[in-house]
Amino acid sequence: MKSGFEIMGGNALKSTDTYRISKREFRATKRKFVDHVLNSDLNPEFKFVKSYHNKQSHGDIDVLIKKGTVDKWDLVDSFDPNETHNNGDVVSLDWKTPNGVPFQLDLVFTSPGHWDMQKTFAAFNGLGNLMGKIARFQRFKYGFQGLRYTAYYDSDTRSVKLGEWVLSRDPEQVFEFLGFDWGRFQSGFDELEDVFEYVVDSTYFNYGCFMPKNLNAGQRHRDTKRSTYMKWMDYLQTIPRVELERPSREKAVERAESFFGVNLQEKIESAREARDWRQKAHETFNGNVAMDHFDLKGRELGKALGSFKSQFENDQEYHEYLMEHDRSRVIQDFASNLQNTQNVNK
């Protein structure tokens, strides 16, 4: 281990040791990154993810890369890494600071449509995650994709998803809707505690939305791996408990419609009607009906159903056909298609 550095900064790389580095070394490494890009022929559009000003050590550098401005692997290869870890749109790799210290570099490839939201959501060491918990309690989703609303056929069981609609990808607008001071965010934060105070001062801050009992298993598992979130949970023990009543889905939809000027309820009802329509069509003919009338099962059944559906331009046309004909007619047509397919394959 190198003197003065703590082993393991980011944790994506498994076979290459990387180190936490000081604030000064972090700044120098960011300048090295800029020089590297400027001196290459790749010319990607990029943005460093903001962290609070007085953070004294860093485990990695997060850099947003706008998709379409550079080839992903050309950029990765330009750093000549010993190891890379590809996790969807995030590529982690080992690089070196100007002083030769192995360090983790995370390249986050971001679509142009999500660029502004990603810059905002990723900033300030987990702030986006905390804001997301508040949004969730208010019945919305907040992330790099924007502010979204998800509707289910049965809101209690959430067993059938009707759809998900983006309400806004304008960061300032989203912050206002969620009750956060956009100007204060733009100014940045000196300490991690300032980030925590910013969350507490928001209009819809609610102590309960961060409690493990109100999170699903996946969220609880992810949060326990985040050191910032564990510090946040410790911070919550030092402040007065603020408990708000969770709005109903009806109230949440009404507020979104009023604020964003969208007909969200109309979209939800349209999706519900479409689902009912598809379900009714499915009752006319489905895999179980085919099994009852033909000696088919497993892979053969799947192929026969796929061949039958392939006659139609799309799912809507297929379902319209099912709605326009009774079961006996559909079985007759299915048998005819099955016979034709078997004759072709002989």
Which residues have a Cβ under 8 Å from the Cβ of 257 and sit 6 or more positions away? 263, 264, 265
The band of 14, judged by pLDDT with boundaries at 50, 70 and 90, is: confident
Beta-ladder partners of 47: 64
Is the dihedral angle over the CA atoms 267, 271, 274, 276 positive or is it negative?
negative
Under DSSP, is residue 245 helix (H, G, I), strand (E, B) or coil? coil
In 3D, which of 295, 310, 316, 297 has the Cα closest to residue 341?
Answer: 310
Q: How many Cβ atoms are within 10 Å of 265's Cβ, its own excluded?
A: 14
Say if strands 60-66 and 102-110 run parallel, antiparallel, or are unpaired: parallel
pLDDT in tens, 236-260: 999 988 888 999 999 999 999 999 9
Place of tokens 């580095």: 21
Domain extents for the chain? Answer: 6-110, 123-261, 285-345
pLDDT in tens, 206-239: 988 888 777 777 777 777 778 888 899 999 999 9
The band of 1, judged by pLDDT with boundaries at 50, 70 and 90, is: very low
pLDDT in tens, 101-114: 999 999 999 999 99
In 3D, which of 39, 92, 91, 50 has the Cα closest to residue 67?
Answer: 91
Q: Is-contact 285 322, C-beta < 8 A?
A: yes
Q: Is-contact 219 212, C-beta < 8 A?
A: no
Helix (H) or strand (E) holding 104: strand 102-110
Q: Does the pLDDT at position 6 exceed 50?
A: no
The superfamily in CATH containing domain 6-110 is Beta Polymerase, domain 2 (3.30.460.10)
Q: What is the CA radius of gyration of the chain?
A: 26
